[in-house]
Structure 1
Amino acid sequence: MSAFAAVDVIRTKRDGGTLSDEQIDWVVDAYTRGDVAEEQMSALAMAIFLRGMTSAEISRWTHAMIASGERLSLSVSRPTVDKHSTGGVGDKITLPLAPLVAACGAAVPQLSGRGLGHTGGTLDKLESIPGWRAALSTSEIQSQLEDVGAVVCAATSGLAPADKKLYALRDVTSTVESIPLIASSIMSKKIAEGASGLVLDVKFGSGAFMKSLDQARSLASALTSIGADHGVPTTALLTDMNVPLGRAVGNAVEVAESVDVLKGGGPADVVALTVALAREMLALAGLDVDPAAVLASGEAYEVWCRMIAAQGGDPSAPLPTPSHVHVVTAPSSGVLASLDAYAVGVAAWRLGAGRARKEDPVQAAAGILCLAKPGDAVSEGDPLLELHTDTPDAVPAALSALEGGFTIASSAPEPGPIVVETIRS
C-alpha cells in the first residue's frame, strides 16, 4: 500500500498548501512508473500552475525528476560547463558557442532538443548537415568530449524520464508557462548531464516564451536557485528576443550563418551574444581565456569541423537549398523601425522550418533570411525578407504571419543591449 494518495497531494496544492519532500518524491516516482494516472498529474500540474511553488518545493521537484533516471558521470580531463537557452527566433548560438568554449580549454556536453512551434531546435539545424547524427551513446559522448572538447547531441533516454513524460503532458494541458515546471524541467535535465557549471540564456520579448523582463527575471532566479541547491554553479543572462537573432532563421540557413561566425564574420549580435555567453562559461570553468581572441584566430572553426566529423557529418559538404524562394519587398521608403521576432518565427515555422507536433518532419532548407534589420535604410521595392521552402503552397500562410510584423518609418529607435541583466547563483 502506498504512503500517499494522489488525490491528497492534488488537494494540498489545489488549496495553496506546500508539498512535503516525501509527497513530491512519491508523486514524481509514482507518475514515472505509471501508478499516478495522467488525469491526476494533469490536475496537479494545473494546481501548480495556478498556486505556484516555493523555492524549496521547486528544488525538491527537480531533485525527484533527476532521481527518476540516470545521471551522467563525465570523467574528462577538462572542466565541464554547459549552456541552455530558453528558446528564441534565429537562436543558433549553441552552434558557434560549443566549439568556441572547447577551443578555450573547457569540455562542453551540450545535450540539445528539437524545435516546437515558432522556436527552432538545435538538433534540427545540425541535421541539415549531410551525414550528421544526433543520437550518441554515453560512451560516445564521453569519448568525443575527451577528444574534441565539445558534443552537441540528443539526450540519452535514461536522463530524467519523469521530465520527458511530464513535458508531453504540460504541452496538452496548457500548463507549459508555469515557472516552477519550466525551471524544474530545464534543470533536471541539465544537472543530470553532469556538467560542473551551467550558463543560461533566458530570453524575453515577443519571440520568447517569457514575454516580459520581469517574467524572465523570475525564471532566471528560480533556475539559478535550483543550481545552487544542487551544487552546480549557475549563471543566467537575460537577453532580448524582440528581434530575430542574426539574419538567418531556420535550419540550414542558421548553420551557414554559424559557420560565418566561426570563420570570423557573421552578424554582430550573434557574435556579441556568443562571446558574452562564452565568457561566463569560461569563468565558471575557471579558465582565464579571451573568447573573442580565440574566435578571431580560427581555432573555434577547427573544433567545429572536428565536432561535426566526429558525429558522421561532412563539414565541407554543401548545405541543402530550397526549391522555392519568395522575396518580401519594402512597401515604402524609410528606415526599418521594427521586425517582430514572433512573426518571423511563425512564418519560418509555416514554411517548414519547424513543427506543430513532436513527430512532425522539418525541412532542412526551409527558413527566412532577414535582408534588412531594424535601423537599416530601405527604399520602396528593396528586398526585406527572403522566404525559403520546398513547399510553395506554404508561402501564403507565411506571408499572413508576417502581416504587421515589420514597420517602416522615418527613423528607428536606438537598439538596446542584447544582454540586459546577469543573475548568478
Structure 2
Amino acid sequence: MDEVRLIRARRRSVAQTAGAIGVVLLLVGALMFVLTTRQESRALNGTLTRVLTMAEDVDDPPPGQYLARQKPGAADVEVTGSASPELVRVLDQAVRRPPGRFDASVGDDQPVRVLVARRSDGSRWAVAADLRPLRRQRGQLALALLVAELAGLAGALVAAALLARRAVAPLATALTLQRRFVADASHELRTPLTVLHTRAQLLARRGRTQPAEQLTEQLDQLVADTRALGEVVEDLLVSAAAEHQPLPDTVVDLAEVAREVVASMGPYAQSREVELLVDAAEPAPVRGARTALRRALTALVDNAIGHVPPGGTVRVGVLRRDGRVRAAVADDGVGLDPTEADRLFDRFAHGDSGAGRRFGLGLALVQHVALAHRGAVEVTGAPGRGATFTLVLPAT
C-alpha cells in the first residue's frame, strides 16, 4: 500500500512538473512566434515603402511584387505587365483609395499586401506583395517551435521523472529502513520474549506450591533472559544509529574502551566460568563514536564468551601499528569454519556450533560500525581451535 502511494506521489510530481514546464514552453513559444511574425511584417512594410519611394515606373518591381501608377489627371492606371487580371483589378482599386496599407485576397489562394502612397507631383502609386512566402515562413516557424516544444516537453518529462525519483527516494529509503527495523525487531525479539514469557509462567505456577528460596535459580535465569532481551533491543537501536546517523568526529581511545568493556563483561564471563583478559596498556586513539565502538567490542566479547566452554579463555588485545589500530577478541572455544566467515556478518546468519550469539545483529552490527569508521573486521579460526575477530580502524 505504501509503495502504491509512493508511486502515485512520484507520478503526480512528474505530471505537475512536466505540466508547469510545458506551460512555460508554450508561453515562450507563443511569444516568440508573435514577436517574430510582427518583425517579419514590419520588415515587409519597410520593403514596400522603399519600393514606392524608389520606383520610377511599373515595369521592373522586385520579385513577388507588383506596381501600379496613376499619373496626375489621367484616368487610366498603369500596372506591372506580369500581374494577373485579378491583381490588376485590386491595384486599380487601390490607387484610387487614400494612402495606407491593407491586405487583400487575389483569387482563392493568393493573399497580397498592398501599400498606397501619393507623391508630391500628384501621382498615385500602389505596390502589392505576395504574402504566400511570408505565410510559408510563419508555418515553418510554427512547426519548428512545435517540434522544439515537444522536444522540450519530452526533456521536461525525463527531468521531472529524475527529480521526482530523487525527491521520493528518501521517502522510499525511509520506508524500507522502517520495515527493515520492524522485521529485525520482530525476528530478534520473538525468541527471547517467548522464553521469558514461558519462564515467567513456570515461576508463577511453581510459586504457588514451592517456597521462595527454591525459586532462586529460576529467578536468576529469568534475570539472565531479561538481560539477553535488553541486549537484543540495544543491538537493534545501535545498529539503526550506526547505519543512518553521521558519526561524531571525536578522538576515542580504543584501548580504554576495551578495558571498560572487559570490566563490564567480567561478571557475565565469571558466571559462565570463562576467564576474560585484556591487553590494552598503550593508548590507541581513533576517530569516531565512542558508544558505537563500545557496543561493537561488547558484541565481539559476548560472541566469544558464548562460544567458549567452561574453563576457557577470552582475550581482548588492542595494538597500534602502521597507522592502524587493531582490537582483537580471541577465544579458545569451538572455533569456526573459515568458509562461514563472510556469512557470519549477514543479518540473522549463524554458525553450526556454539551456544552464544554468533548470529543475528551482533556481528552485523560490528561490521556496520567498522565500515562507518572506515575500517574492517578480520576473522581467523578453525573448527575446535577457537576464533579471533579483529576490529581494524585507522589510527589518529
TM class, shorter-length: under 0.3
Which structure has more helix as a fraction of its residues?
Answer: 2
Using structure 1 for the length normalisation, give the TM-score. Answer: 0.20
Larger Rg: 2
